[in-house]
Amino acid sequence: MTTLRLRILLGFFLLANVSLAAKPNILFIAIDDLRPEIGSYGSDLAVTPHLDAFADRGLQFSRAYCQEAICSPSRASLMTGARPDTIGVIENYTYFRDANPDIVTLPQHLITKGYETVHAGKIYHGKFNDLELSWSRQPARNKLALKGPTATGGYALPENRAIRKKNREHAEANYPPEARGGLGNGPAYESADVPDNAYIDGFNTDLAIATLHDLVETDPDKPFFLGLGFSRPHLSWVAPKRYWDLYDRENVPLATQTEAPENGAAMGLHASFELRTRHGIPKDGPIGPELATTLKHSYLACVSYVDAQIGRMIAALDEAGLRENTIIIIWSDHGWHL
């Protein structure tokens, strides 16, 4: 799997006493927009006890590079083992199957080797989830009381839902479809006193755990590839208040490099269009220190929120007695400018 190693920005492999007599299970965890802002990579700020403990037991890559720092190319490249330019995916609007109908993905290959493959959350980008070929079954939604996160539209607070609704209606009335997704957004961040599963990542962790139990109950001898994809810390930076409370904003430092390096690439220091479309963010010009601190605080809260969900997922493996025969991979599609 040389190509896999080259495509990983953040990854750990845990191979603990895997029985040679049985095919190992695989838990594949994909995180959106996670820069190596975690304790095991040297961050003095990020509160990531579960990722740190996992890195301590596994193998952490320190020289692994993203093929292309955009969601769809990075994910399609990883899952197919082919370069973005080879499969013709260099932006977020091309489905890799359109140009490569016969290419074999990692979970698709595992199906031919006797694996059950299933996912909860974001593994591929957006609607390009390859449901027909990569996944052999659906997650166990029937095992959950909730049918989805209660933070509809991504926000738990009514005022933020109203802002998003107003902006989306304005975008739909004034712009073509390709622009609406970017211009119909709510705030860049939210802190709400809600349970973890009010937001999408907590709900998808519940779904992945329920699916794990269902896999064991349905056919305990069949190996599985279980994908769990997290949407945070991608924008919008929404997380339960308890994760914001892990940080003192007075101790959240801002970047000291505010000017582009001499002779550096212009795009190396830029104001993110994706961030600028959010409500309350200046559309151009500098972002002041107060807002910048809040934005960085919100990103860190999301990192800790995802870390807690990873802890829950791994604990579920332990409780099911599957940890020793499960390969766990934790990976991020690319990082983020902070």
Report, as an integer, the average pLDDT of 272-301.
Answer: 93
Alpha carbons within 13 A on the beta-carbon side of 167? 20
Report, as an integer, the average pLDDT of 155-177.
Answer: 93
Instruction: Tell me: pLDDT of 156 over 70.
Output: yes
Instruction: Tell me: pLDDT of 192 over 60.
Output: yes
pLDDT at 323: 95
pLDDT at 268: 66
Dump pLDDT digits (tens) for 316-332: 999 999 999 999 999 99
pLDDT at 77: 97
- Mean pLDDT (the chain) is 91
pLDDT at 271: 62
Report, as an integer, the average pLDDT of 172-191.
Answer: 85
Dump pLDDT digits (tens) for 46-62: 999 999 999 999 999 99
Instruction: Tell me: pLDDT of 182 over 80.
Output: no
pLDDT at 18: 44
- Residue numbers annotated as active site: 71, 125
Dump pLDDT digits (tens) for 85-108: 999 999 999 999 999 999 999 999
Instruction: Tell me: pLDDT of 225 over 60.
Output: yes
Q: What is the share, in percent, of the chain residues with pLDDT greater than 90?
A: 77
Cα gap 273→286, rounded to integer Å: 13
For the purposes of burial, counting CB atoms within 10 Å of the CB of 153, is it exposed (0-12), middle (13-18) or buried (19 or more)?
middle
Dump pLDDT digits (tens) for 20-77: 458 999 999 999 999 999 999 999 999 999 999 999 999 999 998 898 999 999 999 9
pLDDT at 5: 38
Pair of tokens at residue 258: 């505010």
Report, as an integer, the average pLDDT of 180-203.
Answer: 93
* Phi-psi domain of 270 (left: phi exceeds 0; alpha: psi -120 through 50; beta: other): beta
Cα gap 203→207, rounded to integer Å: 6
Dump pLDDT digits (tens) for 290-319: 999 999 999 999 999 999 999 999 999 999
Residue 127 — pLDDT band, cuts 50, 70, 90?
Answer: confident
pLDDT at 21: 52
Instruction: Assign 127 to helix, strand or coil.
Output: coil
pLDDT at 90: 94
Give the residue among 167, 164, 304 at the shortest CA–CA distance from 236.
Answer: 164
Alpha helices in the chain (DSSP H): 2-6, 49-57, 71-80, 84-87, 96-99, 106-112, 131-134, 158-174, 177-183, 200-218, 241-244, 273-276, 289-319
pLDDT at 175: 87
Pair of tokens at residue 233: 């810390």
pLDDT at 228: 99
pLDDT at 267: 66
Give pTM, 2 decimals.
0.91
Instruction: Tell me: pLDDT of 270 over 70.
Output: no
For the purposes of burial, counting CB atoms within 10 Å of the CB of 43, is it exposed (0-12), middle (13-18) or buried (19 or more)?
middle
Q: What's the sign of the alpha-carbon dihedral 40, 325, 122, 99?
A: positive
Q: How far is CA 205 from the centre of its chain?
A: 12
pLDDT at 17: 42
Cα gap 324→318, rounded to integer Å: 8
